[in-house]
Amino acid sequence: MIEFRDWLRSIRNNPEMRQATRRNGKLTFDANGKHIPGPFTIQARREILSRLLVVQEEFGDPLITESELKQIYRTWANELQSNGGVVDV
């Protein structure tokens, strides 16, 4: 689990893993004018979930419930619909 945590930390500021805009569709900047990235891309979230499920299997105890997985998939489907099916690459 430590490796998973460290990997998450390593990708959190990677612009290739993040959307440019926030969920409200706006670009955000801090007081110094530095761009604040939006959420992880769908591809990044899929990779995160995939890795989490591998860790869960190795750990042997549930780290994420079936209902949480269903909510994640619903959220992703809703986001894809609201973006007209466009997925950040």
Q: Where do the domains of the chain lie? A: 2-82
Q: What is the per-residue pLDDT across 14-52, written as a single tens digit (0 to 9) for each?
A: 999 999 998 888 999 999 999 999 999 999 999 999 999
Burial class (CB in 10 A: 0-12, 13-18, 19+), 3: exposed
Query: The pTM is what?
Result: 0.81
- What is the share, in percent, of the chain residues with pLDDT greater than 90? 78
- Two tokens, residue 63: 């780290």
Q: In b/e form, how buried is each residue of 8-34, taking b as 16+ CB within 10 angstroms?
A: eeeeeeeeebbbeeeeeeeeeeeeeee
